[in-house]
A and B are shown apart, each in its own frame.
Chain A
């Protein structure tokens, strides 16, 4: 079978399974839609269910092609038997589009559908799609389901969309997954148009739908293995369902709304707001109409929880943090460091290159370079949508836009505006005067067409650039297209060639792991990655800075436990200890297996301060606060008279004191002043660092020329004890010997 056809069938099979699941679900919920709505709602609600089914299969380690095939066929057959017609009422949606608007809609929608379809069908080259979205999907398929992954924070995010990708990927690989996301891109404007008709403003529906559909960012995101357009589609469908429920208050609508609200969270954490939105709107409507609140709210909340709980439980069981990789201070764990989370959150709020938040409107609509994509210049007219406040529907739309944009400040990338975009677009459609609407739509469509948009957007703006017919139909070999469009693809294949199966490669930068079966351990994606990065940077750090020893001396005495307490007030900067040594006289006490070590915070890394090497260290991995400590219990009274901490100067303004436990629970301060001395680092630290990395199961290292340590590793490779295996496209792959 031609590869392109296989891909199409795989995506179609996934979408069909979603629709079938949706038909069955909506039948159980006893809700009926107007003609023209039923398929859309079946697809979106069914996607939620099918995603949950795939989750269950992956959790049961049944993520296999054969199982997926059987499950998909079963659900389709069941829907054909029991789901047909049952969800569709005989009524049709009023009013229809006028003939001129039908032409406008058909031409714009058709042209962009051709553009998007061939891009979605072409080999997947998107930055996140070819790295973690599909990298994890490929891994789940290889391992037949979920395994405990602690080395990638992206594996901890909710992955409702990835579950649909997984199903499609099993049959059609990367492009099939992208096509599934494209199905949401197709569904969204059709749902918006249907909504416009339902509220009696078909023209507004068409305007809003085309503003979203032709938007360059919605397009490029929707044809990639991402999830933002799916989130926008689900949130809009939720809004639409609640609109219907307000006129037809049957509990089935609320169950469906609850599932969709929860599915929003399952797709992306930032869509969690769907749950309070749904509960708030239901509660407000019931309260205003003086109807009972509890049962409908409990139904909505319980259905939302059904979709949310599996993801929270997975993280809770495996990582100890139900909302990993966030809230690590509330749910402490060794897998995501608090300092990383804080730095990551800061970077998401302040994209490099963004001069000020005043630059966001132009960047998000026209330039698109700094915030990774642009919506199209037409959205500079978004304030026009405020005129829709005159109508009830307009107020509802703008309220939803406001709620779903609330998370935007947490990540100012343009993609994070997409959940609010359908509501803003419809409000613009409602507000636009009769003469203005077609002009707005046509101007937006022309300005968004790739050959036009390239004239005003930033050179590196993320966007659809052309129609890759040849690549989509696989007349151009996938390898060639991928090597041209995704420069790091070649590296992934080089890794596949040089690294044996199950080999782990440490990388400092995103690499398309969707195209290699080897595990890539990215230094910033996990606690382990952070630690390995810290170890490899230690020798160079100590080339530039001396090793500093803090020696606390006190009269000899027998103690059961020793504790070094940090007493300085909260301040930026961390506290760390490379080695914690205890003395009696001139002799250092030999570390014994009966000793017990504790630390607060970050108790998991305390052994690193007692392993007799300077390349590792215990770090607080969060800003200093008073009360941090390292503690050593001897198990029996032990005579000691000095404690020496070996550190490097790269830490906060710590103030330390040594305490001893003289009786159970009774602590006495032994010393508050230390004699600080400095010395040159010992030899062979580079080699020691490599051995520490190897001891943690990593035998390969990939460095891009832009990585800060690349030159150091290349020039000093003999001292590190590493061998170059390949030098491809500005990156070097090393083996740690």
Chain B
């Protein structure tokens, strides 16, 4: 009598261990994918970190070449970068940069001016070496969505290399437009 009561239990266990999603014996090869048509869209966006893969695409001039993934790059005489903004409304220019201690010894306090499409947006005074962040709203009339927006950042004093006369400004980390 007792063992008969175990039959349902055995049946349940048998059912349980026959579980498992039914896997087809095999599959035919799927539809073969093709490379998406067209060329790679412009990699320029509205904001860039110097460590980004596409950082070079944003640089117009006077920023040291990267390629090693470093998050910092030296700027030279009159650095200029380009951006593509999707909207002209409520944009703020944000620049994160560092005044290096070594260059500061020669230059003393530095003022960096920031311009958007050739118009002066503001200045950041840097009385001592260290990190700085410049952030200021940009009026919508200065921006456009059908072409690049150019940003220049110019230090009023530069460190001049004694060997070759190269002029170093500041160390750029991140720059671009945020909303």
Q: Which residues on A are within 8 Å of B, measured CB to CB?
A: 293-295, 298, 301-302, 305, 312, 316, 319-322, 331-335, 543, 591-598, 603-604, 606-608, 610-613, 633, 682-684, 687-688, 691-692, 714-719, 721, 724, 727
Is the pair B25, A598 in contact by a Cβ cutoff of 8 Å? yes
Stretch at the interface among B29-37, B136-144, B151-159: B29-37
Partner of A715, one of B9, B20, B52: B52
Could you tell me the dominant secondary structure of chain B's interface residues?
loop
Residues of B within 8 A of A294 (CB): 1-2, 5
Is the pair B21, A597 in contact by a Cβ cutoff of 8 Å? no
- B179 at the A/B interface (Cβ < 8 Å)? yes
Is the pair A604, B23 in contact by a Cβ cutoff of 8 Å? yes
Add 15 more A-B contacts to A322-B16, A607-B28, A721-B41 (CB < 8 A): A294-B5, A316-B15, A321-B21, A333-B20, A334-B21, A593-B29, A594-B28, A595-B29, A598-B26, A603-B23, A604-B23, A612-B32, A684-B35, A716-B54, A717-B45
Residues of A within 8 A of B1 (CB): 294
**Bound state CA distance, A331 and B45, in angstroms?**
47
**Bound state CA distance, A606 and B43, in angstroms?**
34
**Bound state CA distance, A18 and B42, in angstroms?**
63
Residues of A within 8 A of B146 (CB): none
Q: With A611-B31, A716-B45, A718-B45 known to touch, is A597 a contact of B26 (CB < 8 Å)?
A: yes
**Bound state CA distance, A298 and B2, in angstroms?**
10
- B53 at the A/B interface (Cβ < 8 Å)? yes
Chain B: interface residue total (CB-CB under 8 A): 41
Residues of B within 8 A of A598 (CB): 25-27
- A590 (CB) vs chain B CBs: closest residue: B32
Residues of A within 8 A of B12 (CB): 305
Partner of A591, one of B2, B15, B29: B29
Is the pair A715, B23 in contact by a Cβ cutoff of 8 Å? no
Ordered by A's residue number, 5 sampled pairs between the chains whose C-beta atoms are within 8 Å are A294-B2, A316-B15, A320-B22, A612-B32, A613-B33
Minimal beta-carbon separation of A308 from chain B (angstroms): 10
**Bound state CA distance, A519 and B12, in angstroms?**
35
- B165 at the A/B interface (Cβ < 8 Å)? no
Is the pair B33, A716 in contact by a Cβ cutoff of 8 Å? no
Q: Which residues on B are within 8 Å of A, measured CB to CB?
A: 1-2, 5, 8-9, 12, 15-16, 19-36, 38, 40-43, 45-48, 52-54, 84, 86, 179
Is the pair A591, B45 in contact by a Cβ cutoff of 8 Å? no
**Bound state CA distance, A734 and B24, in angstroms?**
36
Minimal beta-carbon separation of A197 from chain B (angstroms): 37
Is the pair B26, A718 in contact by a Cβ cutoff of 8 Å? no
Residues of A within 8 A of B179 (CB): 727
Is the pair B36, A715 in contact by a Cβ cutoff of 8 Å? no
**Bound state CA distance, A508 and B8, in angstroms?**
44
**Bound state CA distance, A543 and B55, in angstroms?**
14
**Bound state CA distance, A324 and B170, in angstroms?**
58
Minimal beta-carbon separation of A174 from chain B (angstroms): 33
The 8 tightest CB contacts between A and B, nearest first, are: A320-B21, A333-B21, A596-B26, A613-B33, A591-B29, A607-B30, A687-B36, A718-B41
Residues of A within 8 A of B27 (CB): 596-598, 603, 606-607
**Bound state CA distance, A199 and B16, in angstroms?**
41
Is the pair A592, B29 in contact by a Cβ cutoff of 8 Å? yes
Partner of B43, one of A293, A682, A692, A719: A719
Is the pair B30, A610 in contact by a Cβ cutoff of 8 Å? yes
Residues of A within 8 A of B8 (CB): 302
Partner of A683, one of B31, B40, B86: B40
Q: With A298-B5, A717-B45, A724-B86 known to touch, is A332 a contact of B28 (CB < 8 Å)?
A: no
Is the pair B19, A682 in contact by a Cβ cutoff of 8 Å? no
Partner of A595, one of B15, B28, B38: B28
Minimal beta-carbon separation of A90 from chain B (angstroms): 37
Residues of B within 8 A of A606 (CB): 27
Minimal beta-carbon separation of B7 from chain A (angstroms): 11
- A335 (CB) vs chain B CBs: closest residue: B21
Residues of A within 8 A of B54 (CB): 715-716
